[in-house]
Amino acid sequence: MRQNIIFVALSALTAAVAAQSSNSNLTVPVDSVNPTLRNQWCVAQYNTCKILCGMSVSKNDCDPTTLEWECTCSSGVSPAVEDYEQTVPFLMCEFAFDTCIANHPNDSQGQDKCETDIRDKCATKPPAAIKVSSSSAAATTSAAKPTQTKDTAVETSAAAASSTSESFAAPTNAAAFLGNGVAAAAAGVFAAALL
């Protein structure tokens, strides 16, 4: 009995970690996507990772042969890229939707099913820098006028500080990104307590 509970707890932990990995829940066979398109998807993934990390990344990889990717900010946070447009998971979802629609010509019920089963699961957030704060080093600076002149917010994650100007990026929910890590840690503690 105890071993079954431990197995279930470890399975939950593995699932939580896998959800943070480089593969979306919705996948298409990689070989069904032409190599040029896969390269374009990796470029989009690479650029979006930089945006999400406020241009400060420690790991930003995408393999166009497998469409496996990794995005980790210098702060150590791995943003939930599947929630954002112009990422491999988003582009894969859009590709699956387009394929579904093409497979249901002149079939409004089939196309409606494509919409609800696939399109509704595709990301809808445009890429914007995520805000990460550390309880030990969180700071906000706004004393001097920032050197920024564009409509984007720039964050420095080295000290988990952010500069703001009259224009700002769309709000994001950094707690959602950290929540999965907390859930995984809790599952690990639960599994250890059972031992």
22 contact partners, CB below 8 Å, separation of at least 6: 68, 69, 70, 88
Global pTM value = 0.56
Please give the chain's pLDDT, 195 residues, in tens. 444 443 333 333 333 333 333 444 567 899 999 999 999 999 999 999 999 999 999 999 999 999 999 999 999 999 999 999 999 999 999 999 999 999 999 999 999 999 999 999 999 999 988 765 443 233 222 233 333 333 333 333 333 333 333 333 333 333 333 333 333 333 343 344 444
- Residue 139 forms beta bridges with which residues? 161
Amino acid (1-letter code) at residue 12 = A
Assign 83 to helix, strand or coil. Answer: helix
Query: Measured between alpha carbons, how far is 85 from 154 in angstroms, rounded to an integer?
Result: 20
List the one residue out of 77, 93, 75, 74 whose CA is nearest residue 85: 93
- Torsion, Cα 132 172 162 48, to 10 degrees, reads 90
